[in-house]
Amino acid sequence: IHLNKQQYDEAVASFEHVLQYGEHHGVLVNLASAQTEQQLTEAAVATLQRALDLDAACFTCHYNLGNLYWSKDAHSEARESFLLALALRPSDIDARYNLAITHLALEDLDAALPLLESLSTDTPENGVVWRELGRIYALSARIADSEAAYARAEELGE
């Protein structure tokens, strides 16, 4: 209830109280969400790792860890988390996009390009994807492709 009302201090206290009676995967995931909202990144990472100890196949845990690592500029760790998330849910658009952007941050254009190209096909109305695709084409000296992708992004309001 507290988490839905954005009462994060109360939510953390409630979740920690419940956890005194034993580890529960769902409670840990919700606790990590509240910690993230409070900008307690290290605590949220530790909580999600505890949740993964209970369920290593938790897409949400891997995906949220990737976002937390990204926020800490820990791009290698973010990449690994997004890869694990995508192993569980390969078609997830957000995880695919976040992995592509993480590859770009790691200057791995060869890994980012096919992800962005597939996203431009799967989400053709997403201007952000087209903008990033234009950027990677420009970095790869594919000027005509870059201009076309940037033009599409602009058409879509990016």
pLDDT digits (tens, 9 = 90+) for 66-96: 999 999 999 999 999 999 999 999 999 999 9
In a domain, 93, yes or no: no
| 87 inside domain | no
What CATH number does residue 139 fall under? 1.25.40.10
- Write out the residue range of the structural domain in which residue 118 sits: 108-158
Q: Would 142 be classed as within a structural domain?
A: yes
Per-residue pLDDT tens over the stretch 15-54? 777 777 878 888 899 889 989 988 999 999 999 999 999 9
- CA distance linking residue 81 with residue 99, whole number of Å: 9
Domain presence at residue 152 = yes
Read off the pTM: 0.88
For residue 6, what pLDDT is reported? 64
Of 120, 80, 134, the closest CA to residue 103 belongs to: 80
Tell me whether residue 134 is in a domain.
Answer: yes
Look at the chain and report how many structural domains it folds into.
Answer: 1
Domain contains 118: yes
Taking the CA atoms of 126, 73, 62 and 40 in sequence, report the sign of the dihedral they define: negative
In a domain, 121, yes or no: yes
